[in-house]
Each structure stands twice: as C-alpha cells, then as structure tokens.
Chains A and B, each alone.
Chain A
C-alpha cells in the first residue's frame, strides 16, 4: 500500500518535471511557426495564435527563390545528407567493430589517433582540406562534400564502439563456436543488435550534413542549382534580418528544418522506440 502510494507520488513529480521541461523544449518551435504565420505588423505580438493566420510569408520566400530554386536546393541537401549517412554508418561501424572487438597490434594507438582528430575545430582544417581537394581537381564539384563521409570519422566510430562494447561478449564466443568469420560476426551479430545506435548516428550525421554551412559555401559556387538549402537560405537571411522582416525570416527558418523533422519522425520509431523496447536482447 505505502509502496504504491510512494510510486504514485514519484510518478506525479516525474510528470510535472517532464511537462515543464517539454514545454521549454518546444516553445521555441511553436513560436517560430507562430511568427511565420503572422502579418508583418503583428510580428512582435505576444499571443501564440496569430490572428489572422497568413501564409503570405511562405509565398514571399518562394518568390525570392525563383526557377524552382527551392526544389534544387532541397534536392542537393537531401542527396548530400543521405550520402553522408550511408558513408558514415558503413565506414564507422566497420572501424568501431574492429576497435571494440578485435585484438591486434597498434589498436590502441590507432584509436587514440582517431579520437585525437576531434581536437581540431573544423574552421582550422578547412584550408588544409581545401588544398588537398584542389590537388585532386575537385573544387567546384560536390565530391569534397561526399568523399569525407566515406573515410570514417572519429565521432561515429567512437559512438558505435561504445555501444559495441556493451554487447555481451558471449555472443561472439557462441558465433565463433559455430565457425563464423570476423566479418560474419560484424554483419550478422553486431550490426542487427546495434540498430538503435546506428539510427542515432544516422540522425546526427544527417543533421550535421544538412546544416553544414562552411563546406558547401567554400567548395560550391553560390549557385541556387548547385548549392544546398542551408547556404541558399543563409544568403537571404542577413537581408531579411536587417530589414526587420522577422515573419519571413521565421518562415525560412521553419522551412529549413521541416525536412529534418520529417526524417526524424520517420526514423524515430526505429530510433526512440527501438532503444526503449528491444535494447540489447539477452
């Protein structure tokens, strides 16, 4: 009796905290949508529901992006982000498996080296990388944005290694008894178990590729048919901000995150419920 009473109190407190927290998390998004649906004269109004509701800000934005530029920009962003996810998941998972499971000479050194590369902020490696791609003759193409996704990465490898380390070792031993090869263990035992972590990594990689401003800016011409949505919108943003057109600015901000939200809601079943329900089978 007292035990369940205590549980109820705990649940109510937990709910209260979660509700307040959730409100804090979501208000900026609601505000963004709210402002984007207002008349310019109402942009600083304090009521959350705009009156009247207008979609004019979105039309204005599309007018600023003629010749289906919005479609091209979105296509480019999708293409680059999806390639980044494929490349990172494959190459990081392989490396992470090796670092987590296999014993070989130089493993710890190589892993330390890999993690050490996290120390250099991207603003610094920009110029050396640019010079490398210049020698490869790839400036002005999308390759400098695609290739790095396929050469592994410290964050993804580290994330998956941490996850792989928590998978019970007896699974490996059992597979070994059945005569499975190294790659078999990776592909048939570890990858299926790591689905939640892979989903998490995919979302992080997709988001980072989608939001990358620095690299598309430097490697691609600011051509609305060749560059990405983030760069395209950044081009308009300074002007909208300077002009005090916050309603259009918010419409642009919201449009730039809509694809991320869609991807997230598609992936979240795997991702959030996957972590909750399956976890690691034992």
Chain B
C-alpha cells in the first residue's frame, strides 16, 4: 500500500516537473541556446552572440554546444526535467517529431509582427518548418548535395572532370577507372567514389529520385523505397559496392568514414559542411552537380534550424536572438565558418559566401536548388531511418541479399510509420 502511494507521488512529481515554473528575471534577461556542433562552431557562434550582446545589452545568451549524440540525450533530459533551453537547434527531418508533441513555440505571431522578415529566404529552406498553423521553427542554414571530385586523382588517371550532364552510368564508368590498387597487394589504395549510404541525404535519396522512385508517400503512411524506379536505384548503389569502386560501410569506418578527406577516394557526394575539412586536409578538389538518372536530375536540400521551447519564459528575447542570427550581419558571420549555405539570398549571392574559398565553384551549391527536393520530414523519422539506413549495411558489407533485405526492411519501416500516425 505504502509503495503504491510512493509510485503515485513519484508520478505526480514527474508531472509537476513537466509544467514547473521559474520566476522571471527583472530588467535584463538571460536566455540559453543549446546546439550540436563541432568545436570550431562554438567559436563562431560565440562571435555571433558577442555581436548580439553589443546590439542588445539587456539580453545575455548562454551558448551550450555538444556533439550530435550527446546533444539529443542532453536536450531530452533538460526537457523531461522541465528545464528546457530557450532556443535549441533542430534538424529538419526531426522537426515534426518535436512540433507534433507540442514541445515548440509557434513563431507565427512574431513573424507577423515583423513584416517582410521571410522575404529574403530561399523558400525551399522554409518548407520543412511550416505547419498548418504557421512556422514553428526557422532555418538557420541549408545544404544541397553535390558531387565533389579530387582534381589530382582525375588528372593522374586521365579522366575528364564531372559535368552537369553526367549520368549515374558515367559516374560508375569513371569510378572504375579511378579505382586503383597502386602496390598490387590485392588491396585497393584509391577508391573511385566514397559516400555514406546509411543516411539517405548523401546518395540514395538522390539516386532514387533520379531513377523515378520516391521515399515515402505524401500522407506519411507508406515507405516507397521498394517501388518503381527505386529498386533500380538500389541496384545501382549495390553495384558500386559489388564492383569494388566504393568501400563497404565497415571498411569506410576503418578509415574514419570520409575517404575523400583521407585522400583515398576520387569522388564523393556530400554537402557544404564537408568543405572546411577538405580544405584543412589540403585536398585539391572542386564540385559538380549530381548526375542525372533515367528520370532526370535530382538532389536533396535540407536545413538545420532554430526552435523556441514552448515553455520558454523569455520567448521575446529568444526570438530577438533568432532574428539577429538570421539577419545579414549574423548570416555573414556564419558564412565565414564555411560549414553551410546562408539561408538569406542576399548573403548567399554575395562575396561573403561565393568568395569564401576563392577557387571553389560555390555557385554549384546554389544552382542545385533548381532541381533539389526537400529531405523528407515526418514523424518517427529517426526510428524509420535507423531501420532502413542501418538495416542495409549487411547488404553492402556483402553479408545479405539486396531484394529480400529491402522487402523485410520496408515492412518494418511501415510499422514505424503506423505507430507514429
């Protein structure tokens, strides 16, 4: 009897915790901003915050940056404990999971109060955060996926650089020529291409769209990656592994997952976030648009964004900070970082972005928007992506058969969609 009472007490306290309140500060306010990122991102965000403090001396922003894995654990604990950060970073595909559960503040009133606020944005970056009753988040930067190539390796093999007219077959043909076992020890020293296939963003969503398939039905109830042209796209990706021109997932792991950066792969399909790393590794590279498939050309666009916690006591100040980070001044600072593409057209098309590295053809990232499709956003994304993306690893490691595995995974993925209805 006593223990039952205690259970009830604990539960009650947990519920109270979920709606606990803190006294509001007088005069000056302090807001917390939590995000995932690399150590150098912390430095740049600190600079953005310092600029913001100069313009708004009565608002203090505390930035807390963790690595990706730690970030979500920490965020969940803070929210469960009733002490959510005021502003936190959101990855677009996960947005609906948080928004639909009521964790986020509707930003529409703030946007309405700032007429013209969204005018300068790339519209493709906004779609992910829009719901029937307005915006619950703001993109802070975005990524399109393009084809990176190592000029030195292409020159050495006498292969001409990729162009916007390449097809996936051209890609495979070039990759074969660029796959070399230099010391003839039976182990490949240079792969034609490296890419991640556990996340759809880098290669397989692009391939599926170009082959005329799709990822998920528009009502988010059915996984479509086994239908129509999608199977052909999978066959193509599997052939990259079978032909040995792309390292298997387990081999990739051995070399740190990015063989383009370790100077071991001639091509990769990835977003702008990889550029600082490649520059740091002194790779002589440039970029081209993604290849074409039987159904045309396609790439993926995805954005990282800001959201405000529904329970934030300082929502006004929090929005002021978001507004500043999305202003020309804030976006220029972020462009210096070189990880992503600014969401403001005026900044993306200015020298701050286009000339940040001198030689790199930055325009390709912007031009790709013309045929880009938004990375899908739906409830249950993470679990679904785990089943599909990670589930195919045994196939690509050569331990399982493609079609049977795909059928099995699609059934499991549809179950996740049904559970997250």
Closest A residue, CB atoms, query B274: A242
Q: A131-B13, A217-B74, A235-B39 are known contacts. Are A243 and B281 too (CB-CB below 8 A)?
A: yes
A128 at the interface (CB under 8 A from B): yes
Bound Cα distance A231, B81 (Å): 21
Q: Is the CB of A128 within 8 A of B83?
A: no
Q: Is the CB of B281 within 8 A of A128?
A: no
Q: A243-B256, A243-B258, A244-B257 are known contacts. Are A131 and B81 too (CB-CB below 8 A)?
A: yes
Q: Is the CB of A246 within 8 A of B256?
A: yes
Instruction: State which of A128, A231, A237 has its C-beta within 8 Å of the C-beta of B10.
Output: A128
Closest A residue, CB atoms, query B69: A238
A130 / chain B contacts, CB cutoff of 8 Å: 77, 80-81
Bound Cα distance A213, B20 (Å): 27
B262 at the interface (CB under 8 A from A): yes
SS of B interface (majority): mixed
Closest A residue, CB atoms, query B32: A221
Q: Is the CB of A127 within 8 A of B65?
A: no
A243 / chain B contacts, CB cutoff of 8 Å: 256, 258, 261, 277, 280-281
Q: Is the CB of B77 within 8 A of A236?
A: no
Chain B proximity of A136: nearest CB distance (Å): 12
Q: A214-B73, A238-B68, A241-B257 are known contacts. Are A131 and B262 too (CB-CB below 8 A)?
A: no
B82 at the interface (CB under 8 A from A): yes
Bound Cα distance A164, B80 (Å): 42
Bound Cα distance A28, B70 (Å): 27
A246 / chain B contacts, CB cutoff of 8 Å: 256
Q: Is the CB of A217 within 8 A of B73?
A: yes
Closest A residue, CB atoms, query B76: A127
Chain B proximity of A220: nearest CB distance (Å): 10
B255 at the interface (CB under 8 A from A): yes
Chain A proximity of B267: nearest CB distance (Å): 17
B38 / chain A contacts, CB cutoff of 8 Å: 239
> Which residues in chain B, 364-399, are within 8 Å of chain A measured between CB atoms?
none
B256 / chain A contacts, CB cutoff of 8 Å: 241-246
B51 at the interface (CB under 8 A from A): no
B74 / chain A contacts, CB cutoff of 8 Å: 217-218
A236 / chain B contacts, CB cutoff of 8 Å: 39
Bound Cα distance A70, B64 (Å): 18
> Which residues in chain A, 155-194, are within 8 Å of chain B measured between CB atoms?
none
Contact with B along A21-43 (1 / 0, CB 8 A): 00000000000000000000000
B70 / chain A contacts, CB cutoff of 8 Å: 213, 217, 222, 231, 234-235
Interface size class of B (residues with CB under 8 A): 20 to 34
Contact with B along A237-275 (1 / 0, CB 8 A): 111011111100000000000000000000000000000
Chain A proximity of B7: nearest CB distance (Å): 12
Instruction: State which of B69, B73, B257 has its C-beta within 8 Å of the C-beta of A242.
Output: B257
B329 at the interface (CB under 8 A from A): no
A107 at the interface (CB under 8 A from B): no
B62 / chain A contacts, CB cutoff of 8 Å: 221
Contact with B along A203-246 (1 / 0, CB 8 A): 00000000001100110011100000001001111110111111
Q: Is the CB of A222 within 8 A of B17?
A: no
Contact with B along A50-74 (1 / 0, CB 8 A): 0000000000000010000000000
A128 / chain B contacts, CB cutoff of 8 Å: 10, 14
A64 / chain B contacts, CB cutoff of 8 Å: 39
B277 / chain A contacts, CB cutoff of 8 Å: 242-243
Q: In the complex, which of the residues A130, A238, A243 has the most CB atoms of chain B within 10 Å of its own CB atom?
A: A243
A126 at the interface (CB under 8 A from B): yes
> Which residues in chain A, 126-147, are within 8 Å of chain B measured between CB atoms?
126-128, 130-131, 134-135, 139
Q: Is the CB of A134 within 8 A of B77?
A: no
Q: Is the CB of A234 within 8 A of B258?
A: no
Closest A residue, CB atoms, query B10: A128
Q: A131-B17, A243-B281 are known contacts. Are A139 and B83 too (CB-CB below 8 A)?
A: yes
Q: Is the CB of A234 within 8 A of B77?
A: no
Chain A proximity of B79: nearest CB distance (Å): 10
Contact with A along B146-162 (1 / 0, CB 8 A): 00000000000000000
Bound Cα distance A126, B258 (Å): 34
A139 / chain B contacts, CB cutoff of 8 Å: 81, 83
Instruction: State which of A131, A135, A217, A245 has its C-beta within 8 Å of the C-beta of B66.
Output: A217
Q: Is the CB of A127 within 8 A of B80?
A: yes
B13 / chain A contacts, CB cutoff of 8 Å: 131, 135
Closest A residue, CB atoms, query B278: A243
B67 at the interface (CB under 8 A from A): yes
Chain A proximity of B408: nearest CB distance (Å): 28
Closest A residue, CB atoms, query B280: A243
Chain B proximity of A143: nearest CB distance (Å): 15
Q: A126-B77, A128-B10 are known contacts. Are A244 and B68 too (CB-CB below 8 A)?
A: no
Bound Cα distance A134, B256 (Å): 39
Q: A134-B17, A134-B83 are known contacts. Are A221 and B64 too (CB-CB below 8 A)?
A: yes
Chain B proximity of A116: nearest CB distance (Å): 13
The 9 closest A-B pairs by CB, nearest first: A244-B256, A244-B262, A130-B81, A238-B67, A131-B17, A218-B77, A134-B81, A239-B38, A221-B64
8 contacts between A and B (CB under 8 A): A131-B14, A134-B17, A134-B81, A135-B17, A217-B73, A231-B70, A235-B66, A238-B68
Listed in ascending order, the chain A residues whose CB lies under 8 Å from chain B are 64, 126-128, 130-131, 134-135, 139, 213-214, 217-218, 221-223, 231, 234-239, 241-246
Listed in ascending order, the chain B residues whose CB lies under 8 Å from chain A are 10, 13-14, 17, 20, 38-39, 62, 64-70, 73-74, 77-78, 80-83, 255-259, 261-262, 277, 280-281
Q: A131-B13, A218-B74, A218-B78 are in contact. List 5 more A-B contacts (CB 8 A).
A: A130-B77, A134-B82, A139-B81, A139-B83, A244-B261
